Amino acid sequence: MPLLHDRGERIKANDKHLVYHFVLISLLVVFLVVLLPFHWRALQSVNWQAVQLLHTPYFWSSILTALFVCGLISWLYYHYRIDSIKQLEHRQKLARMILENHWYEAEETQSEGFFKDLPSKKTKQRIRHFPKIYYRMKDGLIHIHVEITLGKYQDQLLHLENKLETGLYCELVEKTLKDSYVEYVLLYDTIGNRIGIEDVVAQDGRVKLMESVYWEFDSLPHMLIAGGTGSGKSYFILTLIESLLHTNAKLYILDPKNADLADLGAVMNNVYYRKEDMLACINQFYEDMIDRSETMKQHPNYKTGENYAYLGLSANFLIFDEYVAMMDMLGRQRPDAKYFSDGIRDNFNFRVALGRMSEMGFGMMFGSDTQKQFFLKPIKGRGYVDTGKSVISEFYTPLVPKRYDFLGEIGKVIQKKQSEPVPHEVKGTGSDLL
């Protein structure tokens, strides 16, 4: 079990009115602190039997001043400490969740009547056991620890993800079951964690896609991106390409529809859209992958189970746009839902689904047995992501400014790389991207 200070604040039964109590006590303290200096001397010498303080303009002006200060502090606190208020609201909701679902143990006790010498029929409920739930917010992530005691409410406490996501308006990014407790990690203010294209950086074997969301291609080399027309899929792929070009990775790009990605052929090599050229690229990519694997095994530092990154080699990416179009070009049957779920999808641990999709499409991407509640929001670039932890979270692609010139910016990166000396690299492949 984590240390006490790491778990955060424990949720108590009386937290059901936490926000109200906090506001009342805080403003009352501020009100008295402002009001008392106005009347301190008068209070020391006042004749309480003939007090006339309430009828003086000075008194009412002090009251108005104290109320104005309370209102000003409330406004400043709401605008600059909104996260603190949200944390109080979250703790209050957690307490009410436990109470309203009756996930606690209580006993009935007999209360005393007005006449203590007479027996009373009134009873009151006393909570004998309240589940140990701890709340902590750190770096935009909410950590909720729930103790598991093999009690009668264990099943409910083990499956809180849907309630937490909808109730706290957050996105589950990780669920970890450990000895005696389960930890839920949720991303707070998901859309606020969206980044711009200038913040998309590829380094140390991973690409930053959102605050706290990374594609770690060294360990999860395969990515699957799905999205309809206008979903932001093309801009997202172009953003990934531009970020990867800042590394020493080698990219091969296939675009069977001769669309946006095919335009990159004007500024970079290994861009194909014709059937014969794409098939030749795939065959060569496969042969290079086999050759590289054999070369790696002859390396003195080679270790079974490790990949190219362990030996300090660069990654090679096969970026394949419009897979269905390629199947049509080859005259093969389009992949149906069964083939997709049983074959292609399971090879891609990192999955991104963008734009408007149906419940069926959501199930095809992430599995029909997923417990994630599916919602549609009219925001371009919005979707869902599975970062390889089998946890589906809301996702927003990096923001791209209007009239952003991908072709020009990628061309600048290519020119800069060509002017720099390139170290010798073992031929082959290290990573795939769809």
Q: Which pLDDT belongs to residue 426?
A: 43
Q: Which pLDDT belongs to residue 192?
A: 78
Crossing angle (nearest 10°) for helices 57-80 and 18-45: 150
Mean pLDDT, rounded, for 102-117: 70
Q: Which pLDDT belongs to residue 197?
A: 92
DSSP 8-state assignment for residue 350: E
Mean pLDDT, rounded, for 371-398: 77
Q: Is 376 exposed, middle or buried (0-12, 13-18, 19+ CB in 10 A)?
A: exposed
3-state helix vs strand vs coil in the chain, percent to 5: 45, 20, 35
Q: Which pLDDT belongs to residue 241?
A: 93
With a cut of 60, say whether residue 343 has pLDDT above it: no
Q: How far apart are CA 293 and CA 321, in angstroms?
A: 26
Q: Are strands 213-215 and 350-354 parallel, antiparallel or unpaired?
A: unpaired
Q: How far apart are CA 424 and CA 418, in angstroms?
A: 14
pLDDT classification of 2: cutoffs 50, 70, 90: very low
Q: pTM here? A: 0.66
Choice among 42-51, 118-127, 248-257, 356-365 with the minimum mean pLDDT: 42-51
Helix (H) or strand (E) holding 167: helix 161-168
Choice among 113-127, 253-267, 331-345, 346-360 with the minimum mean pLDDT: 331-345
Choice among 171-180, 313-322, 360-369 with the minimum mean pLDDT: 360-369
Helix (H) or strand (E) holding 23: helix 18-45
With a cut of 90, say whether residue 242 has pLDDT above it: yes
With a cut of 70, say whether residue 238 has pLDDT above it: yes
Residue closest to 222 by CA, chosen among 294, 310, 307, 313: 307
Mean of the per-residue pLDDT values of the chain: 79
Residues above pLDDT 90, as percent of the chain: 9
pLDDT classification of 52: cutoffs 50, 70, 90: low
Q: Which pLDDT belongs to residue 207?
A: 92
Q: Which pLDDT belongs to residue 430?
A: 44
127-167 confidence digits (pLDDT tens)? 888 888 999 888 778 899 998 887 788 888 888 888 888 78
Give residue for tokens 């014709």.
Answer: 274
**How far, CA to CA in Å, does 46 sit from each of 32, 34, 50, 52, 120?**
18, 19, 8, 9, 46
Residue closest to 229 by CA, chosen among 356, 86, 47: 356
With a cut of 60, say whether residue 388 has pLDDT above it: yes
Q: Which pLDDT belongs to residue 379?
A: 75
The class of domain 197-418 in CATH terms is: alpha beta
Torsion of CA 160, 161, 164, 166, to 10 degrees: -130
Q: How many helices (H) and strands (E) does the chain have?
A: 12, 17
Domain residue ranges of the chain, discontinuous segments joined by +: 4-36+61-187, 197-418
Q: Which pLDDT belongs to residue 3?
A: 47
Q: Which pLDDT belongs to residue 252?
A: 92
With a cut of 70, say whether residue 339 has pLDDT above it: no
Helix (H) or strand (E) holding 224: strand 223-227
Q: Which pLDDT belongs to residue 340?
A: 52
Mean pLDDT, rounded, for 374-401: 80
Half-sphere exposure of 274 (CA within 13 A, CB side): 5
Q: How far apart are CA 267 and CA 263, in angstroms?
A: 8
Q: Which pLDDT belongs to residue 123?
A: 72
Q: With beta carbons less than 8 A apart as the criterion, state whether 313 and 423 touch.
A: no
